[in-house]
Amino acid sequence: MTRPWDSTSERLLRELAPQALGVVARRFRDFASAEDAVQEAMLAAFTQWPREGVPENPRGWLIQVAFRRMTDQVRSEIARRQRESAAARDVETATAAGDIERDTDMDPDDTLILLFLCCHPALTSSSAIALTLRAVGGLTTAEIANAFLVPEATMAQRISRAKQSIKASGVPFRLLSPLKQAERLPAVLRVLYLIFNEGYVSSIGAQLQRLDLAREAIRLTRCAKALLPDDAEVAGLLALMLLTDARRAARTGPDEELIPLNKQDRTLWDRAEIAEGIDLLTSALSKGSVGLYQLQSAVAAIHDEAARADDTDWPQILALYELLKRVSPSPMATLNHAIAAAMVHGPARGLELLKPLDSDARFSGHHRLDAVRAHLLEMLGDRDDAIKHYRTAARRTTSIPERNYLMTQAARLEEGPRGPEEKTTVP
């Protein structure tokens, strides 16, 4: 029996792809070839399912198709590659005994194992993150390149080299020891953070949010929390995601237009997610060691606990960003610190703190720097320069909702009276 193809089927495929990849990689012990096989199975699904319907067991369907691709490849190289030969014999024996079918009916969270495998010590941190975003998060190479601020061709080469490095290492597909988990955990958390960010603010396209990615990031982080229940940074990251995701329903209007934080209907915020996030954060902070994600979740909690935008405790947020800059310095930490300083000490101070980013090669051409500068210039009363930077930011972003919002801000300043400045918010 099959189910008709509908709007949820593509999301289903995205969710099932890493699970299928986990099973195939574990069975054949060849990550690079397994990913290629699963990609071929995905293409077959996109071709057949709209015409024939979604299979009753779509996960098993993907795994079986990928198994066949892998078996064909193994058999064609059996004389030259002993490892593939052994894997082929395993598959033939398991097929005869019916073990493969039983394996596809099982539902172990191979995705989490895959997550740690992608964060292999042979890879640089950036390569590990990029590979995992591709294999586990399902992002395109273009989306990952945008997140890393590098050309798409560069990112494609990086991902290809990362897959080959894992293949050459011969590391088996199984859950790591506690020591190995601890070594790879920072990269794993960074991956989850980037997947969530891409889901919360999509870097490319007509939609502001990609709920499938945000939900998958939260699901995987819950898995990591269950695996490492005493790790404060895992809890801090989960808290950050929940406290941020709680605003999702209020972030866009009926036409997918972006609604900035200070104009959102806070009655639409998910109070259950906020309560859970605050509980997680409180527990994590009680453990003593404060890290990057706990600090960011503390900022998110201050925003969520304010009944109105005007009630936001900006001095406390400024203090948290000052600490964050010391714990984990980055261009984004500098940017957010400048915004908080402007809200406490005035826009001139915020503009002064932005200046170092102009010479930072990682960030100098990023649209968010121009968007923040435009906002602070508007607060200062410099409408002409604000319009210029709003337009520059709109030109540089690849998100259509963000572009529309920024162009609207520029148009509003052009058409409005030359009176006292109107309060705005950076998206």
DSSP assignment of 346-365 equals: -HHHHHHHHGGGGG-TTTTT
The DSSP symbol for 421 reads P
pLDDT the model gives residue 103: 42
pLDDT the model gives residue 82: 55
Tokens matching residue 188: 């794993």
Contact 351, 377 (CB under 8 A): yes
Q: Is 308 left (phi over 0), alpha (psi -120 to 50) or beta?
A: beta
Assign 2 to helix, strand or coil: strand
Question: How many C-beta neighbours within 10 Å does residue 74 have?
Answer: 23
pLDDT the model gives residue 415: 86
Contact 410, 394 (CB under 8 A): yes
Q: Residue 31 corresponds to which amino acid? A: F
Backbone angles phi, psi at 79, to 5 degrees: -75, -25
pLDDT the model gives residue 95: 46
C-alpha span between 421 and 258 (Å, rounded): 21
**Sequence-distant (≥ 6) Cβ neighbours of residue 332 within 8 angstroms:** 363
pLDDT the model gives residue 356: 95
Token pair 């915004």 in the structure block, residue: 339
C-alpha span between 319 and 321 (Å, rounded): 6
Contact 387, 413 (CB under 8 A): yes
Tokens matching residue 227: 């695996």
Q: Where are the alpha helices (DSSP H) in 204-311?
A: 211-227, 232-245, 271-285, 292-305
Average of per-residue pLDDT values in the chain: 84
Backbone angles phi, psi at 256, to 5 degrees: 65, 15
Residues of the chain short of pLDDT 70, as ranges, are 1-2, 5-8, 76-109, 147-149, 417-427
pLDDT the model gives residue 4: 72
Tokens matching residue 194: 């980037």
Q: What is the pLDDT of residues 134-181, one digit of tens each?
A: 887 777 788 778 766 678 899 989 998 888 888 787 777 777 777 877
Q: What is the pLDDT of residues 348-358, one digit of tens each?
A: 999 999 999 99
C-alpha span between 409 and 391 (Å, rounded): 9
Tokens matching residue 415: 């058409």
Tokens matching residue 361: 């090669």
pLDDT the model gives residue 97: 46
pLDDT the model gives residue 35: 83
Token pair 């990689």 in the structure block, residue: 25
Assign 3 to helix, strand or coil: strand
